[in-house]
């Protein structure tokens, strides 16, 4: 039985307007479906359902109708990547028609009080929930990072439920908001070396396939996991499975206590990443688009790419996707100019899974992201090459996928 306090009952009765009432109706319905005892206030929201490529006219109409009802986000709320760079779309080749519809989506969200910060890494641009705080985030890799690395609490929200949480300032308390659902369901013993973000993604792909929507607890034997780029692992597990929370012994906040592993749960052993690479990597020799920044690149990643490209010139199209705020910080440091003088582009607000890349004429995409390698064939129809950053950058420099032995680390 879902309990509502007096304020929530008033919001549900429409006392704060039809838009807020609609939000409460969605949250109450979800709470009843999932057996929530009550609603819980959230500190921030990240809303998915932003790219016009995915939303179409029906999704845009839904948002415009809601914005006409009134209601505004009561907590800081940001968006998932849009279908294009909101500033540089024309020079990147997006059509006027697509841009017009995409801007209408962003405008509807703005009317509802959601900031036009379009990123899957809100935690890199100021949305940083603290340990134990409740949030309502939607993008799977961001959800995984918030739950696992930051120790915040969020289910993987859908677009409408996240928007409802923003407007109501709360969400239904079920799933990963509850202690009992945050305990590990499987121990993963990683016995092979992890030398790159692609290795971590390959590992995530393999583990996600096996644990599905479980909660893996990682132990790394042959690596110092404190140096890892965790967003890569979570993104891959959320793609091949539905992992929204994982723990890493000695690293993640909820694994620190050491008492989280219940004796007798399933143990998986990973001692070879080759099956992950075999599943994700294709065979095309030619590469016409190299896509880095999945999840959206950090300033540090942009710096590393800028150093690699210094004094060189790319042959293939190289796009590195990131949050606009991250792009601006990297521009101040000089990394954007260095990448773009080599012929690459630092593209804000979007990603190549939700952008209409096939319409832009690309046929083969190379990436260091297991998540992007997983989704690109089905979402965009491009063939994929998957490998570490240096190999992808060499592909950008030559237009061909290089043999692994020819690539310097």
Rule CB under 6 A: is residue 320 a binding residue for ligand F3S? no
Encode burial over 161-196: b for 16+ CB neighbours within 10 A, e otherwise.
bbbbbbbbbbbbbbbbbeeeebebbbbbebebebeb
Check residue 83 for interaction with ligand F3S (CB under 6 A). no
Tell me how far apart the 2 most distant CA atoms of the chain are, in Å. 67
Task: Look at residues 63, 140, 56, 38 and name the one whose alpha carbon lies nearest to residue 101.
Answer: 56
| Smallest separation (angstroms) from ligand F3S to the CB of 124 | 11
What stretches of 95-214 adopt beta strand conformation (E)? 136-137, 170-172, 186-190
At its nearest, how many Å lie between ligand F3S and the CB of residue 296?
6
Pairwise CA distance, residues 67 & 46, whole Å? 17
Select the residue interacting with ligand F3S from 353, 365, 393, 396 (CB under 6 A). Answer: 353
Name the token pair of 353: 């899974």
| Interaction between residue 235 and ligand F3S (CB under 6 A) | yes
Q: Is 81 among the residues that bind ligand F3S (CB under 6 A)?
A: yes
State yes or no: residue 125 binds ligand F3S (CB under 6 A). no
Give residues with Cβ within 8 angstroms of 141, minimum separation 6: 120, 121, 231, 234, 235, 238, 295, 371
Q: Is 294 in the site for ligand F3S (CB under 6 A)?
A: yes
- For residue 162, the minimal CB distance to ligand F3S (Å) is 14
Can residue 201 be called a binding residue for ligand F3S (CB under 6 A)?
no
If one asks whether residue 71 binds ligand F3S (CB under 6 A), the answer comes out as no
178-186, 206-214, 294-302, 329-337 -> range binding ligand F3S (CB under 6 A): 294-302
Could you tell me the sign of the dihedral formed by the alpha carbons of 189, 191, 197, 201, in that order? negative
Q: Count the residues of the shown chain that bind ligand F3S, applying the rule CB under 6 A.
A: 13
Q: Is 120 in the site for ligand F3S (CB under 6 A)?
A: yes
Specify the stretch interacting with ligand F3S by CB under 6 A; choose among 57-65, 273-281, 288-296, 303-311.
Answer: 288-296
- Told to check if 141 binds ligand F3S by CB under 6 A, we report yes
List the one residue from 8, 139, 197, 254 that touches ligand F3S (CB under 6 A).
139
N-to-C CA span, the chain: 57
As given in the structure block, the two tokens for residue 387 are: 């490998």
Distance CA 89, CA 247 (A): 39
Tell whether residue 84 is a contact of ligand F3S (CB under 6 A). Answer: no
Candidates 2-10, 265-273, 293-301, 381-389 — which segment interacts with ligand F3S by CB under 6 A?
293-301
x-or-dash string of contact with ligand F3S, 365-384, rule CB under 6 A: ------xx------------
Task: State the residue for tokens 């967003």.
Answer: 231
- Applying CB under 6 A, which residues contact ligand F3S? 81, 120, 139, 141, 235, 294-296, 321, 351, 353, 371-372
């Amino acid at each position: 039985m879902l309990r509502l306090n007096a304020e929530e009952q008033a919001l549900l009765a429409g006392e704060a307007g039809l838009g807020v009432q609609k939000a409460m109706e969605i949250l109450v319905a979800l709470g009843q479906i999932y057996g929530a005892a009550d609603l819980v206030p959230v500190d921030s929201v990240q809303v998915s359902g932003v790219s016009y490529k995915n939303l179409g006219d029906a999704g845009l109409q839904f948002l415009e109708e809601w914005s006409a009802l009134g209601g505004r986000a009561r907590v800081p709320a940001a968006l998932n990547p849009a279908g294009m760079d909101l500033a540089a779309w024309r020079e990147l080749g997006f059509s006027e028609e697509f841009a017009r519809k995409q801007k209408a989506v962003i405008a509807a969200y703005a009317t509802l009080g959601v900031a036009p910060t379009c990123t899957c890494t809100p935690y890199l641009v100021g949305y940083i929930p603290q340990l134990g705080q409740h949030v309502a985030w939607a993008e799977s890799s961001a959800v995984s990072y918030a739950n696992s690395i930051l120790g915040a609490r969020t289910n993987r929200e859908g677009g409408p439920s996240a928007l409802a949480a923003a407007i109501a300032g709360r969400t239904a308390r079920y799933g990963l908001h509850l202690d009992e659902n945050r305990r590990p369901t499987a121990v993963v013993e990683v016995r092979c070396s992890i030398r790159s973000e692609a290795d971590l993604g390959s590992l995530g792909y393999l583990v996600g396939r096996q644990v599905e929507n479980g909660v893996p607890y990682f132990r790394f034997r042959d690596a110092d996991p404190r140096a890892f780029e965790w967003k890569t692992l979570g993104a891959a597990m959320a793609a091949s499975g539905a992992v929204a929370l994982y723990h890493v012994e000695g690293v993640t906040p909820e694994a620190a206590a050491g008492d989280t592993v219940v004796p007798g749960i399933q143990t998986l052993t990973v001692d070879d990443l080759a099956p992950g690479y075999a599943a994700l990597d294709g065979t095309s020799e030619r590469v016409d688009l190299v896509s880095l920044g999945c999840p959206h690149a950090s300033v540090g990643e942009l710096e590393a790419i800028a150093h690699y490209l210094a004094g060189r010139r790319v042959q293939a199209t190289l796009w590195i996707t990131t949050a606009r705020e991250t792009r601006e910080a990297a521009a101040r440091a000089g990394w954007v100019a260095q990448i773009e003088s080599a012929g690459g582009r630092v593209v804000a607000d979007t990603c190549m899974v939700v952008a209409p890349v096939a319409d832009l004429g690309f046929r083969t995409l190379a990436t260091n992201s297991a998540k992007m390698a997983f989704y690109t064939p089905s979402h965009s129809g491009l063939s994929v090459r998957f490998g570490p950053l240096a190999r992808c950058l060499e592909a950008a420099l030559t237009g061909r996928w290089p043999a692994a032995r020819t690539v310097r680390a």
